[in-house]
Amino acid sequence: GESVGLHLPTLSVQEGDNSIINCAYSNSASDYFIWYKQESGKGPQFIIDIRSNMDKRQGQRVTVLLNKTVKHLSLQIAATQPGDSAVYFCAERAPRGYALNFGKGTSLLVTP
């Protein structure tokens, strides 16, 4: 079946460095993608989204890149801070779909 997966289950970066979290998806019909951040003891928090007719979208310190050719999604965090430590999930949605298909998550650890 279709799936959303993450290349790395854990990522450790130093404070101030840039972080890149990757996600592979297999449903070529998916038209909408979201990145969520989940801190310990909290629910997933929306970070940034992108539609399939775009290949890049920027937010505050975050950038999402979409490569439909290889079905790859990435989240870039600039100047990573301790408060960025969390689990990051990518999610995809099929056209006219309702449900988000979540990946298993990448744990980002920011060290001083």
Partner 1 sequence: DADVTQTPRNRITKTGKRIMLECSQTKGHDRMYWYRQDPGLGLRLIYYSFDVKDINKGEISDGYSVSRQAQAKFSLSLESAIPNQTALYFCATSDLMPGLEDTQYFGPGTRLTVL
Site of interaction with partner 1 (CB under 8 A): 4, 32, 34, 36, 41-46, 49, 51, 89, 93, 98-100, 102-105
The residue among 75 and 93 lying less far from partner 1, judged by its C-beta, is: 93
Shortest distance, position 49 Cβ to partner 1, whole Å? 6
Least spacing, CB of residue 109 vs partner 1, in Å: 17
* Residue closer to partner 1, measured from CB, 79 or 109: 109
Nearer to partner 1, 44 or 64 (CB): 44
Least CB distance to partner 1 at residue 103 (A): 6
Sign of CA dihedral 42, 55, 110, 9: positive
SS3 labels along 11-78: EEEECCCCEEEEEEECCCCCCEEEEEEECCCCCCEEEEEEECCCCEEECCCEEEEEECCCCEEEEEEC
d(CA 87, CA 102): 12
